[in-house]
Amino acid sequence: MPKIFLIAGLGADKRLFKNIQIPDRYEVVYVEWPEPKLTDTLANYSQSIINQYHIIDKDITIGVSLGGVISTEIAKRVNLGKVILISSIKTDSETPWYFNIFRKLPVYKLTSGKLFNKLGFVVRLVFGSMSKEDQALFKSMLSNSSPIFLKWAMGAILNWRNDVIPPNLYHIIGDSDLVFPYKNIKNPTAVIKGGTHIMIFDKAAEINAFLADILKT
């Protein structure tokens, strides 16, 4: 049975995929974030995920936000059958303008990792409107995340450089995403109207329709 690896975003876990439907012919594997070494880049961190989960040729990854970046890095090392990005970026040329500010003023270095766990109050402002239930879920995921991982990931994504677009890559983005604005995304597979950075919750039906079409072949 072919495997699909689901990779959540920064501060999230497998609960992020609660509304996502995968055809029964696939074995679903949820990737949990290994604790990184402080010297890890996204490239060698992705290799550690490949090793830990035994990802091989023809497997499929579906990554949301940071999980999409990790999926892209995995696809550079493994001949994936498909790599599917949701609310993410595939090259550093698609990063938003504010990345340049944080690269020059890396305030995350001066911030305690534990503080990132308590930033649930900014979720609605940055990620987009969501139901009280989904907002509570996201805050729970964030508060349960490793402070070491959160702080490391902030720096790793800011310093990520990539201009390689792997074959068989599919990119789904929302036109109201404030984290990764869709106007920066080159040749998206699908643009979901009204989709925010957290559209995997409230636009799941539309995402599932695209996934079903992508995975049917």
- pLDDT single digits (tens) 113-148: 454 445 544 555 456 666 778 777 877 887 778 888
Q: How far apart are CA 210 and CA 63, in angstroms?
A: 14
pTM: 0.90
How many other CB atoms are there within 10 angstroms of residue 178's CB atom?
14
User: What b-and-e string marks burial along 9-24, b requiring 16 or more CB atoms within 10 Å of the CB?
Assistant: bbbbbeebbeebebee
Supply the range of the domain harboring residue 137. Answer: 3-215
Length of the chain (residues): 217
Q: 175-187: per-residue pLDDT in tens? A: 999 899 999 999 9
User: pLDDT class for 49, splitting at 50, 70, 90?
Assistant: very high
- 14: domain CATH number is 3.40.50.1820
- Domain count for the chain, please give it: 1
